[in-house]
Amino acid sequence: MRFALMIEAQQGLSYEDQLAIARRAESAGFEAFFRSDHYASFPGDSDQTTTDAWAVIAGLARETKTIRLGALVSPVTLRHPGNFVKLVTTVDQMSGGRIEVGVGAGWNEADHVPLGLDFPPIKDRADLLEDQLAILHGLWEEKPGWKYDGKHVRVRRGHLVPGPAQVEGRPVGANGRFRPRIVTGSSGSPRGYRIAAKWSDEFNLSSSSPEVARKAEAELDEACRAIGREPRTLTRSTMAGVLMGRDAAEVGRRADALLAAFGQQAESGIEWVNERRSRWILGTPDEARAMVKRFADAGIERIMLQDFVPLDLDMIDLMAEELIEKV
């Protein structure tokens, strides 16, 4: 099993907070650091500080050395696909080739309306996402002069200089050049599976149990075979909430801190945590490793540990010690 750290940066985290977390994850041995891409603040207080994901990732690209970086995921509605591919390619060059590109159709209207951003119906957003994925592949992989006619986007004389950083171990495009890994995902929809089979290097299942992951595995395999793709060329991952402690008392203290951040009343705290045991990496190290094994048995190859108390740097160290080093 491979592990990435994922944070919900819209929980009031400044750039300096995120830098400290990313550096701790890097030193602890996480292979990648992902942050959310939201402008609205949640859960908890809706007036917390928020930051732009790609401005932050650009800063982290210069202030970290080895850890891979990305957003999980960037809604296509926040940035025009042509702007997005140029932005990501620039940050990839700044990082020396450490960017992974997570993209999605977007789901949260509150990220859009207060800033005057359009939030069309889901069908239109999914169509735009397919345009974005075609443009990522086309401008990274095709010869200059590439053209494309999509549902919402038209490209003529396609040309991108410089292209992505050329780093061994990355996916190789149709032009024989390396490019960033592309991650898409969903909670499990047929169109999401078809999009992943056609365009993605990795499918990320969001906040789901191992049982749901096992079912998704079969549907992803079917979607890949339907277009002649070998199913195992599509990496399977999940984003799972995480809350760990060295013993039950420490788990309880961290649960209290998490619930306070979420604005939950103490009376509902135990019930709130117990409701998530079927899909979170939650509890003592032995309990956490048992859940990781269940995900592995369901076919998951990488877990994005979704950390809702990211300023607790000691928990980052604990996850590294008890999961990365022992699983």
pLDDT in tens, 5-23: 999 999 999 999 999 999 9
Average pLDDT for 17-44: 96
Q: Is it the case that residue 242 has pLDDT exceeding 80?
A: yes
C-alpha span between 38 and 35 (Å, rounded): 9
> Which of 174, 178, 172, 221 minimizes the C-alpha distance to 196?
221
Share of the chain above pLDDT 90, in %: 88
Residues 6+ apart with CB under 8 A from 85: 132, 135, 136, 139, 140, 160
- Residue 264 has a pLDDT of 73
Residues 6+ apart with CB under 8 A from 188: 205, 208, 212, 215, 216, 219
**Residue 258 included in any domain:** no
- Residue 198 has a pLDDT of 97
Range name among 241-245, 266-270, 298-302 with the lowest pLDDT average: 266-270
- Residue 267 has a pLDDT of 55
Average pLDDT for 86-109: 97
Average pLDDT for 229-247: 97
- Residue 261 has a pLDDT of 85
Structural domain tally of the chain? 1
Paired tokens of 251: 């788990």
> Which of 43, 18, 12, 13 minimizes the C-alpha distance to 259?
43
- Residue 142 has a pLDDT of 94
Instruction: With residue 134 as reference, give the H or E element that holds it.
Output: helix 122-141
**Residue 213 included in any domain:** yes
Q: Is it the case that residue 221 has pLDDT exceeding 80?
A: yes
Tell me, rounded to whole angstroms, the distance of Cα 224 from its chain centroid. 21
Average pLDDT for 126-154: 97
The label of the residue with tokens 């969001």 reads 206
**Residue 197 included in any domain:** yes
**Residue 263 included in any domain:** no
Q: Is it the case that residue 269 has pLDDT exceeding 70?
A: no
**Residue 313 included in any domain:** yes
Instruction: With residue 75 as reference, give the H or E element that holds it.
Output: strand 74-75
C-alpha span between 37 and 7 (Å, rounded): 10
Q: What CATH number does residue 215 fall under? A: 3.20.20.30
- Residue 271 has a pLDDT of 74
**Residue 96 included in any domain:** yes
> Domain limits at 132?
2-248+279-324
pLDDT in tens, 164-220: 999 999 999 989 999 999 999 987 789 999 999 999 999 999 989 999 999 999 999
**Residue 303 included in any domain:** yes
Report the greatest alpha carbon distance in the chain: 62
